[in-house]
Amino acid sequence: MSVRAGVVITGTEVLTGRVRDRNGPWLSDRLHELGVELAHITICGDRPEDMQAQLRFMADQGVDLIITSGGLGPTADDLTLEVVAGFAERPLLLDEALEQRIADILEPLMKRWPDLDFEAVRASNRKQAMVPEGAAVLEPAGTAPGMVVLPREGSGPTVVVLPGPPRELHELWRAAVATEAFREAVVDAGHYEQSMLRLFGIPESEIAETLRLAEAEIDGFGRLEITTCLRRGEVEVVVRHEREAAAARTALEALIGERHERTLFSDDGSTVDEQVAELLAGQTIATAESCTAGLMVARLAERPGSSAYLLGGAVTYVDRAKVDLLGVDPELIERHGAVSEEAAEAMAAGAIERFGATVSIAITGVAGPGGGSEEKPVGTVCWCVQRSGGTPMTRSVRLPGDRAEVRDRSTTIGMHMLRRLLRGEELPV
């Protein structure tokens, strides 16, 4: 009875990795909310035969719904509607009213580029007004309309055709879901529940061991669909099941909570970023960064409303800036080096003082590829988190990975240290 879907991402720029696809993951979440199971995501370039093959693959796999992203632009390599119309055996017809609506959208936009020939632009957008016979039109959020295309004679999947730019895709998705054609395609969708546990500071293999134990101990374990994965240094355990298997899920969560008490930090789907944001209510925070060079403060600023507690940060990439902006004693740097727990502590104290913050975090390290030494190899990072007037909490670790990974992972460890500090907990040994 379950409804399965496939997502087809088009675009040579995505296939070749020049542009990162953000639509597949987003659509996956939306489908999941509707109780529709996403079975396959496929990515093809701008060759019609390849896209056609992927649509046919989805149909062969028996999906009820295909969602395509991209290929609706004005350039000649944008071929999605032609291919989908062929797949659904529906001729493409010019919708003149739609063409006019697109022209109305384009006119004011063209004012930003006054040199453009309006008629030429309009002609290049005319193909965006070609509609497969019988399809529901989704009004453009940019200049490209989307479509919900029904298969000929009710056989085969319904195809939702969406534009590639994420903001446009999001808006047109909402319109697509409201169409009768869409609702009919997903009428048999089941009801799944999903929960997520997050752990930090534990190898994935230890979770594997716990799951093996759970399999032996927990009734109905087989009805749980469990995925574990390592992500930015955290282990995520996702459990998905039909409503009736909720008891097994609860038992599994209890077992993990018991065996991994010290490392389990989230059982309600919350991220460490969200937890830290909540813990910062009533506090003010400033950062002092060297190797992360702004990634920590930028991460704290990702959340809307972060201005309630985030004062700012000093990115002191060179030693002199550590001295001038944060008041770090140059002799301390001389004695211990800029990558040291001592320097991290002095930077954290400087951030509290200079910004007048109640909480601070400092990060200094060797991100690589150069700059390492025998004593402090590439990947060595030191953190200090501190409350105004409190005892600093410091740590140093040698991280694996390349420059980007070391910098990114450093912010994750920073977040977890902030969480511990703000909860009044000690660091684990």
Tokens read off for 417: 């240290």
DSSP string, 9-61: EE-HHHHTTSS---HHHHHHHHHHHTTPEEEEEEEE-S-HHHHHHHHHHHHHT
Residues 401 and 230: beta-carbon distance below 8 Å: no
Stretch 115-134: interaction string toward a copy of itself, x if CB under 8 A: -xx--xx--xx---------
Tokens read off for 104: 């109305």
Can you tell me the distance from the alpha carbon of 10 to that of 66, in angstroms, rounded to the nearest whole number? 13
Q: Report if residue 231 touches a copy of itself, rule: CB under 8 A.
A: yes
Directed axis angle between helix 341-355 and helix 319-326, to 10°?
40
Q: Report if residue 369 touches a copy of itself, rule: CB under 8 A.
A: yes
Minimal distance, residue 391 CB to a copy of itself, in Å: 25
Tokens read off for 91: 């001729």
Q: What strands lie across the sheet with 359-365, from one edge to the other?
A: 285-289, 359-365, 380-387, 393-398
Residues 140 and 101: beta-carbon distance below 8 Å: yes
From the list 298, 290, 292, the residue with the least C-alpha distance to 410 is 292
Instruction: Return all residues near 358 (Cβ < 8 A) that are at least 6 apart.
Output: 283, 284, 285, 352, 387, 388
Segment interacting with a copy of itself, rule: CB under 8 A, options 81-89, 176-184, 208-216, 381-389: 208-216
Task: Look at strands 234-242 and 225-231 and give their pairing.
Answer: antiparallel
Output 122 or 133, the one with its CB closest to a copy of itself: 122
Please give the size of the binding site for a copy of itself, defined by CB under 8 A. 111
Residues 188 and 200: beta-carbon distance below 8 Å: no
CB burial string 243-262: b at 16+ within 10 A, e below: eebeebbebbbebbeeebee
How long, in residues, is the chain? 429
Of residues 239 through 278, those in contact with a copy of itself by CB under 8 A are none
Q: Report if residue 168 touches a copy of itself, rule: CB under 8 A.
A: no
Q: Report if residue 178 touches a copy of itself, rule: CB under 8 A.
A: no
Q: Indicate which single residue of 3, 5, 36, 43 sits in contact with a copy of itself (rule: CB under 8 A).
A: 43
Minimal distance, residue 133 CB to a copy of itself, in Å: 26
Q: Report if residue 402 touches a copy of itself, rule: CB under 8 A.
A: yes
Q: Report if residue 280 touches a copy of itself, rule: CB under 8 A.
A: no
Q: Is 389 buried (19+), middle (13-18) or exposed (0-12) by CB count in 10 A? A: exposed
Q: Report if residue 103 touches a copy of itself, rule: CB under 8 A.
A: no
Q: Report if residue 283 touches a copy of itself, rule: CB under 8 A.
A: no
Minimal distance, residue 14 CB to a copy of itself, in Å: 8
Can you tell me the distance from the alpha carbon of 82 to that of 78, in angstroms, rounded to the nearest whole number? 9
Minimal distance, residue 177 CB to a copy of itself, in Å: 18
Stretch 187-206: interaction string toward a copy of itself, x if CB under 8 A: ---------------xxxxx
Minimal distance, residue 208 CB to a copy of itself, in Å: 4
Output 28 or 396, the one with its CB closest to a copy of itself: 28
Q: Indicate which single residue of 126, 134, 401, 420 sits in contact with a copy of itself (rule: CB under 8 A).
A: 401
Q: Report if residue 141 touches a copy of itself, rule: CB under 8 A.
A: no
Of residues 57 through 96, those in contact with a copy of itself by CB under 8 A are 57, 60-61, 73-77
Minimal distance, residue 415 CB to a copy of itself, in Å: 14
Q: Report if residue 282 touches a copy of itself, rule: CB under 8 A.
A: no
Q: Indicate which single residue of 222, 356, 377, 390 sits in contact with a copy of itself (rule: CB under 8 A).
A: 356
Of residues 288 through 327, those in contact with a copy of itself by CB under 8 A are 289, 292-298, 300-302, 304-307, 310-318, 320-321, 324-325
The amino acid occupying position 110 is M
Minimal distance, residue 18 CB to a copy of itself, in Å: 6
